[in-house]
Amino acid sequence: MTTVGGATTTLTRTRESPRAWGYLRSNPTFWIGAIGVTLIVGAALFAPLIAPHDPNFQYRGEGLTPGGDPLGPTAKFPLGTDKLGRDELSRLLYGARTSLTVGIVANSLAIFIGVVVGTVAAYSRGRRIRLSAGGRGPSVPIPLETILMRTTDVVLAFPALLVAIALVAIVGPSLGLVIVVIALVLWTATARVTYSTSLVVLSSDFIVAATAIGVSDRRMLVRHLLPHLVPIIIVYATLGIAAAILFEATLSFLGVGVPPPAASWGGMIIEHVGYYRTDPRVVAVPGLAIMATILAFNLLGDALADALDPRHWR
Amino acid sequence: MQSTRVPWRTSALGVAVILVASACGASSSPAPSGGASVAPGESVPAASAPASSEASAPATIPQGGTLSIGWNGEIQWLDPSLGYDVNSWPAERLMFEALLDYDDGTRLVPLLADGMPTVSSDGKAFTFKIHGDVNFVNEDGTVLRKMTADDVAYSINRVLNPNLKPNPSPVASGFFGNIVGADAVLAGTATAASGIKVIDPTTIEFDLVNADATFLNVLATPFASVVPKELAGDDATAFSAKPVGTGPYLLKSYTKGQGAVFVKNPAYWQAGQPYLDQIDYKTGQDDNAMLLQIEAGTLDMMGDPLPAAQFTDVTTNPEYKDQIYHHTLVDTDYVFMDTQMPDNGPFSNVKVRQAVNYAIDKAAILQISHGAGVEANCIYPPDLPGYDAACNPYPHDVEKAKALMKDAGYEAGFETTFYTDTTDPDPQIGASIQQDLAAIGIKANIVSQEFATFLDTIETPHKAPIGWVGWFQDYPDPSDFIDPILSCASAVKGGANAALYCNKAVDELAAAAKGETDPLKRLEEYQTIQTKIMADAPWAPFRHQEWYTMTSKRTGGFSIHPVWQYNVRALYVKPGA
Amino acid sequence: MGTYILRRLGWSVVVLFAIAILTFFVTFILPADPARMIAGIRATPEDVDRIRHALGLDQPFLVQLGAYLSRLVQGDFGHSYIQNRPVLGLVLERFPATLQLAVAGLFVALAIGLPLGVFAATHKGKSSDRASTVFTSILVSAPAFRFCPPDAPPGATGEFGSRESARCSS
């Protein structure tokens, strides 16, 4: 831990963590969020045990009205059926798996890429990065910051759906592909915000001081810069889960999402979107599930961001 | 042609499907009589009374009034040499006419031709007399001049023109390649086909390379519409903007993205027609919005079927009973299987294919389609000449299917990939079939692709081992369901034969039947072909779709036509509306 | 300041070019065949080939890319076959509505979000801070297409991505 002029700049486990925990413990939003997330993750994990039916089995005669429309809630189908006669509750539980997997994994990947790009780009400003052949010969200055940020611009402006359709057409649809595509779309937001925040942090006094005493690049990034990004990373992580789940729904609509008949909340909404007038239940149920999940993650993330903000713990 | 449910060409994205069966309005169901065949050496008398029942039209059809019709898509072309989709054809038929037309069913009747043609005894030469009093009418309602046989010749040669801008006609060789001298025009070495002969201003003769009775059906398509030779030119985009034809309506205005207005042609060559003063086309409309407008009476017709989610509500509502129309389309939806699957894959074994036929629960598919359709047991749909209601070689029987799988050596089952497209509700039908296949041990992973990609997949040999697709007629003749999709010639890259079915014996029968001049014998031959193909089971047909739509109370003369779908020429406003 | 703007403008031209080339490439490798889509599902392979040749779609990638870019810089954005009119017209038609929505959205976001954020920050730790957090969280969590007016005709939303995102489709 480095102390310059009394300003403590890093988090160490020995001192700050109990304080963060104390802060969290008394924060109701933390508890609401944590319980919500636990319930949802639990539902996803234990879906095979809790679900009353096979989520993909189409109950033809008994699962549809005589006119061929989805059935309302009955004893056998607690939340009714969808338009192929499949049990809505079971699909909801299994859908939690798909949506959560996509939301968490794709998002984590996006955050990781975004943070790396943003911090490296900010850190490279004004610093000359040179490539040379083993230290001998002329070295080539690389405008790393420009390259990284302009690439971010290109990716940001690029029509993601086009790439998704092309990739699926070539490689074939799968959960992995969906995760990769969503990550490729979401990282730019994090990159930009990380970049601008990093620029601010890097102009602070303690960074100047640390440079003066010769802190290495790696240590600078990880121990001095990163902790200040934690609150904003957490906020974007939780927002990203929402974006990821919703984007997955769009991909499902175009047939480039998780391959059918696998259940996913977004797919369930899109498949039944025409029923909003005649049978809103089939759209409302997965929609509320998405809402609840996003809300829980947001509340949890908010509380965490607050607790972990280094500026509290001077 | 290939279609998931929409006739002619489907737009790549976002065309909703779902048809439902319900209360009946006017539905035409003519007896399956051959409309295409002509006995050699004699001219066929014009078809007498239409072979269909229709809601009775009032004794005198009221003249005047305006009707509006809404569409999802845009009118792509008002140039008959290029238009090939659901929105363009009805619009073209308002403004242009061809030598022949259909009655209320599938029987050919003369239109611009004065009587049916005289056919030579070898079936290769067709001589038409044409009406001498047909006017070409300008956009402002003034008469340009009378139509002559030169214009008819010019129009057909124009479709063959390889230099047509922006692109050549999609049916140049497909429909008109059989005319003597057409290949020279297509190659660019001639500007007119030698087989199109103008005998005098009201007589024209067509000479074919091979005898083909379906040539008459071709001459009834909008592609064979007659255009004025000095105005049409090589630029289809320009002509589409300022079309001039012989039809009952004129184009008053056409705003891309909004729609078009067609007004009555005051100099139309047939007295008493058209009945309406004006027809409004509103394009780019949403299905649910159109339905609401029709219910409210602010829109008269919709060019697209009833949206699925509203289906049950609308069709069971007694207030709309007389406004709902439905009719089984001349379409077959089927599961195709790669009969030439490499490495002796499972689907190259006829027993496996027959097992799939037995395994499919067609009633379940109809249920998720809200009952809009009839079960398909063989290749030809009802309304198609040659349809055989008794043809049903594989009634649903899961035990038989399992026994066949065991026979073929696949008692343990196998895994495969099932292809479908993404247009709603096609993936759901794929899911239903997937469950049926699982019941007999076939684990099918569904891949649903956006329609353009899906087409490319099924037109590339061996890319899709199994999948489902629909085929809709271009004209009501059984050859339309054999040659393009079940012949050796079509089992190539870019061909529509997704099952890669190639049986030389069947090919020979099909070639003979195509040129057969005795109409009854011809139909028998096509039925034999159907039986033979079904025995080979390259397909598992499961449904003929039914089209459901709704009109406003004041729409008269509406019916769902087996060829034209909406016969826009017969519309009028109901009295008292 | 002036040089900064110029530099950024210069880079944006490069970015636009990169996007144009990448988009063209992705569309090129898509397995869909534009000649087949124009000709229709029913046309014979011979007719499809003829159309493909007439439109120059059978030429090598670089030739097509060159033609595309040279027309692009002249303002010719190509022709839509589905809508049968120039693409530039389609894009410009939807631009005002998209601009309106974007600006209005930004304005609403600032008008509500900015004061709310400042309020929450200055009243940190109090119940009003909690309340505003929960309130914003709930709004963020609601999927956009839940609140979409289903009966709005498609032309009204006019967004570029309205078809693709299908958020308001029904």
pLDDT at C160: 31
For residue A124, the one-letter residue type is: S
Chain C residue set in contact with A, beta carbons under 8 Å: 11-12, 14-15, 18-19, 22-23, 26-27, 29-32, 130, 133-134, 137-138, 140-146, 150, 164-167, 169-170
From chain C, the residues in CB contact with A169 under 8 A are 30-32
Q: List the pLDDT tens digit at each of the 170 positions of chain C.
A: 888 899 888 888 888 888 889 888 888 888 888 888 888 888 888 899 999 999 888 899 999 999 999 998 888 888 877 777 788 888 888 888 899 999 998 998 888 888 888 887 787 766 677 677 667 766 766 555 444 433 333 333 333 333 323 333 32
Interface contact A298-C164, CB threshold 8 A = no
Interface contact A158-C23, CB threshold 8 A = yes
Interface contact B171-C47, CB threshold 8 A = yes
Q: How many CB pairs under 8 A join A and B?
A: 88
For residue A137, the one-letter residue type is: G
C92-131 residues touching B, CB cutoff 8 A: 93
Q: What percent of chain B has pLDDT over 90?
A: 67
pLDDT at B169: 94
Complex-level ipTM beyond the 0.90 threshold: no
Give B16: exposed, middle or buried? Use CB within 10 Å, 0-12, 13-18, 19+.
buried
From chain C, the residues in CB contact with B238 under 8 A are none
Interface contact C140-A299, CB threshold 8 A = no
A16-45 residues touching C, CB cutoff 8 A: 28-29
User: How far away is chain B from the Cα of C91, in angstroms, using its nearest Cα?
Assistant: 12
Q: Using an 8 Å Cβ cutoff, are C167 and C144 in contact?
A: yes
A313 vs B154, residue with greater confidence: B154
C149–chain B Cβ distance below 8 A for any pair: no
B467–chain A Cβ distance below 8 A for any pair: no
C16-75 residues touching B, CB cutoff 8 A: 30-33, 36-51, 54-55
Q: Is the confidence at residue A313, as pLDDT, over 70?
A: no
CA distance B97 to B343: 52
pLDDT at B44: 36
Q: What percent of chain B has pLDDT over 70?
A: 90
Interface contact B174-C85, CB threshold 8 A = no
| Closest chain A CA to residue C167 | A250
Structure tokens at B524: 């028998």
**Other Cβ atoms closer than 10 A to C34:** 15
| Closest chain B CA to residue A260 | B446
Q: Is the confidence at residue A135, as pLDDT, over 60?
A: no
From chain B, the residues in CB contact with A280 under 8 A are none
pLDDT at B45: 37
User: How far away is chain C from the Cα of B167, in angstroms, using its nearest Cα?
Assistant: 6
B313–chain A Cβ distance below 8 A for any pair: yes
Structure tokens at B219: 């001459």
Chains that touch B (3 or more CB pairs under 8 A): A, C
Q: Select the highest-mean-pLDDT range: B450-454, B530-534, C16-20.
A: B530-534
Buried b / exposed e over B400-422, threshold 16 CB at 10 Å, is bbbbbbeebebeeeeebebbbbb
Per-residue pLDDT tens over the stretch A251-294: 876 667 887 778 888 888 888 888 888 888 999 998 899 888 88
From chain B, the residues in CB contact with C46 under 8 A are 173-174, 177
Q: Is the confidence at residue B275, as pLDDT, over 50?
A: yes
Chains that touch A (3 or more CB pairs under 8 A): B, C
User: How far away is chain A from the Cα of B573, in angstroms, using its nearest Cα?
Assistant: 31
CA distance B385 to B211: 19
- Of the ranges A15-29, A48-62, A172-186, B462-476, which one carries the lowest mean pLDDT score? A15-29
Which one of A239, A250, A292 has the shortest CB-CB distance to C165? A250
User: How far away is chain A from the Cα of B283, in angstroms, using its nearest Cα?
Assistant: 20
B406 vs B9, residue with greater confidence: B406
pTM for the complete prediction? 0.82
From chain C, the residues in CB contact with B14 under 8 A are 163, 166, 169
From chain A, the residues in CB contact with C12 under 8 A are 153
Q: Is the confidence at residue B286, as pLDDT, over 80?
A: yes
A161–chain C Cβ distance below 8 A for any pair: yes
Interface contact A273-C138, CB threshold 8 A = no
Q: Is the confidence at residue B366, as pLDDT, over 80?
A: yes
**Candidates B2, B3, B9, B217, partner chain C, best to mutate (most C CBs within 10 A):** B9
Per-residue pLDDT tens over the stretch A68-124: 888 889 888 999 999 899 999 999 999 999 888 988 899 999 999 999 999 988 888
Give A76: exposed, middle or buried? Use CB within 10 Å, 0-12, 13-18, 19+.
middle
From chain C, the residues in CB contact with A309 under 8 A are none
Which one of B84, B162, B292 has the shortest CB-CB distance to C151? B292
pLDDT at A311: 66
| Closest chain A CA to residue C166 | A250
CA distance C43 to C37: 10
Q: What percent of chain A has pLDDT over 70?
A: 86
Interface contact C145-A273, CB threshold 8 A = yes
If you ran DSSP here, which 8-state letter would residue A154 be given? H
Which one of A158, A276, A283 has the shortest CB-CB distance to C19? A158
Per-residue pLDDT tens over the stretch A203-234: 888 888 888 888 787 787 888 888 888 888 88
Confidence of residue A202 (pLDDT cuts 50, 70, 90): confident
Buried b / exposed e over B230-259, threshold 16 CB at 10 Å, is eebeeebeebbeebbbbbbbbbbebebeeb
Which one of A159, A276, A298 has the shortest CB-CB distance to C150? A276
Which one of B307, B308, B447 has the shortest CB-CB distance to A259? B447
Q: What is the DSSP string of chain C?
A: -HHHHHHHHHHHHHHHHHHHHHHHHHHHHSS--HHHHHH-TTS-HHHHHHHHHHTTTTS-HHHHHHHHHHHHHTT---EETTTTEEHHHHHHHHHHHHHHHHHHHHHHIIIIIHHHHHHHHHTTTSHHHHHHHHHHHHHHHS-GGGG--TTS-HHHH--TTHHHH-TT--
HEC string of B331-399? EEEEEEECCCCHHHCHHHCHHHHHHHHHHCCHHHHHHHCCECEEECCCCCCCCCCCCCCCCCCCCCCHH
A54–chain B Cβ distance below 8 A for any pair: no
Provide the residue count of chain B: 577
B460–chain A Cβ distance below 8 A for any pair: no
Confidence of residue A132 (pLDDT cuts 50, 70, 90): low
Q: How many CB pairs under 8 A join B and C?
A: 133
User: How far away is chain C from the Cα of A153, in angstroms, using its nearest Cα?
Assistant: 7
Interface contact C54-B169, CB threshold 8 A = no
Per-residue pLDDT tens over the stretch B98-130: 999 999 888 999 999 999 999 998 889 999 999
Per-residue pLDDT tens over the stretch B420-444: 988 878 888 999 999 999 999 999 9
Q: Is the confidence at residue B56, as pLDDT, over 50?
A: no
pLDDT at A17: 55
For residue B405, the one-letter residue type is: M
Q: Is the confidence at residue B551, as pLDDT, over 50?
A: yes
Q: What is the DSSP string of A102-135?
A: IIIIIHHHHHHHHHHHHHHHHHTTT---EEEETT
Give the containing element (helix H, strand E) for B205: strand B203-207
B74 vs C168, residue with greater confidence: B74
Q: Of C56, A149, C27, C164, whose CA–CA distance to B13 is shortest?
A: C164
B20–chain A Cβ distance below 8 A for any pair: yes
Interface contact A256-B307, CB threshold 8 A = no
CA distance B329 to B563: 9
